[in-house]
């Protein structure tokens, strides 16, 4: 177990070094459907159609994920009433690790759990965290690999732009 977490930490560090570009080019296309296992229910990503969705893939060992959660909470609080929802998909193989993370950094938005990693395969993740902005019509519009504190203002502008459409 300790070796796996150490290896995951090294991968996260190198992914952070390799993927310094915050925005990835995404041609507008339908967001692949996901069935999300939330704490109390199961929902589909398409259930959120009509809202701007910030779909974030994370894991407990991911250092940039620790920096992103306060910002995502702020964005949910600021724009939630305007039709914005953050959905975080945890990819830890052990739920207990995610629960420990969330006890320190509570999420004020839906959190789904995918220990099998099927959603990561569907979205072809290349690093942690990876986030997607999905417009009101369910189209993928913007992807971010990593979370860069110095780019928070531009991330927020992207949200504002999609909400204004």
**Location of structure tokens 């220990």:** 115
* Dist. CA 15–CA 89, nearest whole Å: 18
| pTM as predicted | 0.83
The mean per-residue pLDDT over the stretch 120-129 comes to 92
For the CA atoms of 42, 141, 153, 165, the dihedral, rounded to the nearest 10 degrees, stands at -90
Q: Which domains does the chain have, with CATH numbers?
A: 2-164 (3.40.30.10)
pLDDT at residue 15, rounded to an integer: 38
Nearest alpha carbon to residue 18 among 128, 119, 121: 128
What is each CA distance from 112 to 27, 40, 94, in whole angstroms?
26, 10, 13
Q: What is the mean pLDDT of residues 146-163?
A: 96
Which has more confidence, 104 or 39? 104
User: What are the tens digits of pLDDT across the range 59-88?
Assistant: 999 999 999 999 999 999 999 999 999 999
Whether 36 contacts 56, CB under 8 Å: no
């Amino acid at each position: 177990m300790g070796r796996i977490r150490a290896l995951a930490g090294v991968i996260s560090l190198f992914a952070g070094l390799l993927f310094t570009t915050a925005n990835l080019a995404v041609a507008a296309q339908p967001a692949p459907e996901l069935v999300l296992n939330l704490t109390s229910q199961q929902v589909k990503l398409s259930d959120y159609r009509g809202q701007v969705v910030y779909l974030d893939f994370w894991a407990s060992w991911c250092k940039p994920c620790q920096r992103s959660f306060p910002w995502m909470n702020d964005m949910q609080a600021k724009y939630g009433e305007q039709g914005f929802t953050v959905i975080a998909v945890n990819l830890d193989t052990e739920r207990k690790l995610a629960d420990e993370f969330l006890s320190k950094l509570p999420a004020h938005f839906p959190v789904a759990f995918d220990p099998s990693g099927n959603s990561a395969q569907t979205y072809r993740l290349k690093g942690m965290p990876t986030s997607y902005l999905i417009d009101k019509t369910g189209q993928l519009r913007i992807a971010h690999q990593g979370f860069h504190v110095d780019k928070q203002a531009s991330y927020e502008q992207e949200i504002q732009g999609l909400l204004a459409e």
